[in-house]
């Protein structure tokens, strides 16, 4: 039976892979890669653009792209001519073709005009009129590519390098946002107005992350570039935040249609396990696998359950030890009570004998017998006092043992605590709980802002929201992930009946810098949320740094 199942799985995988390659082969794919690095000293030479286009070309070739001649250290006319050739290739291939333009080099924007430029290799004297005349407007490149109306166009600007020399205040090293344009997916290696790194052994950080995702099977363009963003943020310690503008009306699978995941077999062997090391081995092998988030959730749950079991076991050990101690003290108190009762009985006997002897002594006027009676009375009084003390201690122990509480045995003190002691003890416990929560919050590096699910009146899930950071955090970075979630609340009225709907959601996290983990106070961030066929809106959140909580404070319609 096992052999039959294995054979069926193999046939399904081969069939899915064949279908993916067939769809892959039907669409024409062309890529143009431009790398400018040998700039004049007045502009600032770069290290990695030639390496960048080489590794990206290798990754695109594996995904069926026909690579146009690599363009290195290009002038303005060469750049425009190569882009025109790419547009002609796409027009000739017809609707459904895919174009990919990747540029690595210097880029800048004029502040007064908000015009973005790619800087050719022969541009000199940054900030001068001649410098801008020799540069290439991004709008011009987009207009040339827009001539291929039926094609899907990916435009990736790995530009805005730190090394650019800008002596005037009329320019900025970072590019400014551009309006979403139908048919284009535009990716930027850094956030608006910010620079990108040129550091790296084989390439810059953005090119390395892009090639890594191009080697993954079955990723659509949204997931691919989201993974690139997360990798670049992690590799640069939050210093570089890529962003995108999506004008495509469908998902494009740059790395082939999804097939049966390579991690399916391993996941099938661990998906019902309660063994944390087995799940950790899955994550080590497939850190971004299809079931990576589920595996992490299972690890978190099992870890919490193990901690609870350990705490319960420790509590039971302490309870039994306290119970044994109390039982031993109670046994001793009972023995003392019995001894006291026996002493009283013996004293009574001696007193009766003494009284009789006293009477006889009185009759006989014997001082010796009277003295004995007096001593016997003293012994009897002392025995009665010990008996009273023993009975009081026994009553106190019985009260402690039967007193209600959290399930722990009561204190073995001889008297019950007064009200002041109870209040003091409660204050100590409350302070300990508060300090534990604060320490736990400080150990947490991420804060869940919100998760976004597009649901219609029939409780059907729509496409995932497109999220962009409008106001960046002061003490960390914003991270977007796609995770399975359950609908809990909605900003749109009339969807209360959809609460409990399950499906994929786009989740926003505030990732705190290591240097700011002890910071208190409040930070404010804003996120632009855009759903399919709905007007975008901007949502603002206040993050309490010490408590690790996020509160949405404002929702406005985006312009």
Nearest to 160 by CA among 227, 203, 124, 206: 206
* Helix ranges restricted to H, 403-530: 419-443
Residue given tokens 């509480």 in the structure block: 405
Residue 127's pLDDT is 74
Residue 442's pLDDT is 55
DSSP 49-91: HHHHHHHHHHHHHHTTPEEPPPEES--HHHHHHHHHHHHHHHH
Distances (CA, A) of 480 to 8, 246, 343, 447, 541: 37, 15, 81, 12, 15
Three-state SS string over 176-237 comes to CCCCCCCCEEEEECCCCCCCECCCCCCCCHHHHHHHHHHCCCCCEHHHHHHHHHHHHHHHCC
Answer left, alpha or beta for residue 114, where phi above 0 means left and psi between -120 and 50 means alpha: left
Residue 540's pLDDT is 95
In sequence order, what are the beta bridge partners of 103? Answer: 34, 157
Residue 368's pLDDT is 53
pTM summary value = 0.47
Nearest to 289 by CA among 319, 262, 269: 262
Residue 409's pLDDT is 44
Q: What is the CA radius of gyration of the chain?
A: 39
CA dist 228 and 111 (Å) reads 28
Residue 64's pLDDT is 93
SS3 424: helix
DSSP 91-124: HHH-TT-EEEEEEES-EEEETTTTEEEE--TT--
Nearest to 22 by CA among 256, 218, 258: 256
Contact indicator for 89, 150 with CB cutoff of 8 Å: no
Residue 191's pLDDT is 79
Q: Which tokens is 95 given? A: 């609707």
Q: What is the largest CA-CA distance in the chain?
A: 147
Q: Which tokens is 229 given? A: 């963003």
In sequence order, what are the beta bridge partners of 500? Answer: none
- 409 DSSP 8-state letter: P
Q: What is the pLDDT along the chain (559 residues), one digit of tens a residue?
A: 434 333 334 333 433 444 444 444 468 999 999 999 999 888 888 988 999 999 999 999 999 999 999 999 999 999 999 999 999 999 999 888 999 999 999 988 877 778 889 999 988 888 788 888 889 999 999 999 999 988 999 999 998 766 566 665 555 556 777 778 999 999 998 877 677 776 767 888 999 999 999 988 778 899 899 999 999 999 988 888 998 999 999 989 888 766 555 677 788 888 888 899 999 988 888 887 777 878 898 999 999 999 999 999 998 898 888 888 888 888 888 888 788 888 888 888 887 777 777 776 666 654 554 555 555 556 556 655 665 666 676 666 656 655 655 444 444 444 455 677 767 766 766 666 556 555 555 567 888 888 888 888 888 888 898 999 999 999 988 988 899 999 877 766 678 888 889 999 999 999 898 888 888 899 999 999 998 878 899 999 999 998 889 999 999 988 7
């Amino acid at each position: 039976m096992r052999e039959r199942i294995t054979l069926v799985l193999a046939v399904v995988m081969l069939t899915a892979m064949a279908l993916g390659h067939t769809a892959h082969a039907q669409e024409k794919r062309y890529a143009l890669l431009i790398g400018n690095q040998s700039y004049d000293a007045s502009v600032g030479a770069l290290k990695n653009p030639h390496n960048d286009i080489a590794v990206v070309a290798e990754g695109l070739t594996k995904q069926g792209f026909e690579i146009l001649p690599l363009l290195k250290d290009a002038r303005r006319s060469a750049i425009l001519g190569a882009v025109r050739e790419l547009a002609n290739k796409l027009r000739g291939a017809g609707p459904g073709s895919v174009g990919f333009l990747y540029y690595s080099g210097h880029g800048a924007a004029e502040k007064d005009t908000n015009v973005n430029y790619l800087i050719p290799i022969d541009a000199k004297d940054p900030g001068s009129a001649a410098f801008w005349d020799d540069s290439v407007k991004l709008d011009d490149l987009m207009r040339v590519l827009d001539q291929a109306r039926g094609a899907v166009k990916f435009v990736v600007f790995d530009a805005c390098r730190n090394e650019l020399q800008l002596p005037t205040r009329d320019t900025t090293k970072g590019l400014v946002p551009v309006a979403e344009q139908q048919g284009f997916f535009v990716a930027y290696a850094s956030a608006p107005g910010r620079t990108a790194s040129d550091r790296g052994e084989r390439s810059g950080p953005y090119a390395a992350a892009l090639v890594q995702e191009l080697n993954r099977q079955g990723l659509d363009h949204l997931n691919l570039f989201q993974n690139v963003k997360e990798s670049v943020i992690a590799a640069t310690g939050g210093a570089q935040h890529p962003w995108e503008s999506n004008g495509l009306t469908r998902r494009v699978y740059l790395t082939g249609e999804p097939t049966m995941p390579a991690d399916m077999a391993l996941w099938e062997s661990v998906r019902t396990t309660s063994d944390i090391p087995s799940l950790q081995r899955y994550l080590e092998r497939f850190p971004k696998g299809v079931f990576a988030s589920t595996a992490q959730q299972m690890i978190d749950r099992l870890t919490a359950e193990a901690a609870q079991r350990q705490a319960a076991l420790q509590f039971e050990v302490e309870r039994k030890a306290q119970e044994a101690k109390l039982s031993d003290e109670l046994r001793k108190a009972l023995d003392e009570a019995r001894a006291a009762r026996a002493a009283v009985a013996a004293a009574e006997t001696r007193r009766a004998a003494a009284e009789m002897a006293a009477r006889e002594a009185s009759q006989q006027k014997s001082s010796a017998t009277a003295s004995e009676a007096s001593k016997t009375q003293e012994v009897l009084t002392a025995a009665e006092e010990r008996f009273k003390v023993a009975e009081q201690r026994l009553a106190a122990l019985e009260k402690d043992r039967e007193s209600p509480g959290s399930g722990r045995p009561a204190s073995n003190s001889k008297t019950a605590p007064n009200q002041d002691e109870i209040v003091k003890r409660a204050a100590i416990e409350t302070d300990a709980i508060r300090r534990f929560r604060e320490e736990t919050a400080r150990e947490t590096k991420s804060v869940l802002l919100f998760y976004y699910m597009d649901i219609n009146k029939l409780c059907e899930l729509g496409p995932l929201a497109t999220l962009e950071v409008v106001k960046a955090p002061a003490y960390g970075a914003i991270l977007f992930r796609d995770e399975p979630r359950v609908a809990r609340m909605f900003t749109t009225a009339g969807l209360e009946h959809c609460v409990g709907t399950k499906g994929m959601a786009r989740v926003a996290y505030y990732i705190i810098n290591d240097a700011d983990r002890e910071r208190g106070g409040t930070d404010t961030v804003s996120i632009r949320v855009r759903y399919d066929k709905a007007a975008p809106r901007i949502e603002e959140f206040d993050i309490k740094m010490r408590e690790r909580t996020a509160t949405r404070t404002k929702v406005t319609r985006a312009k």
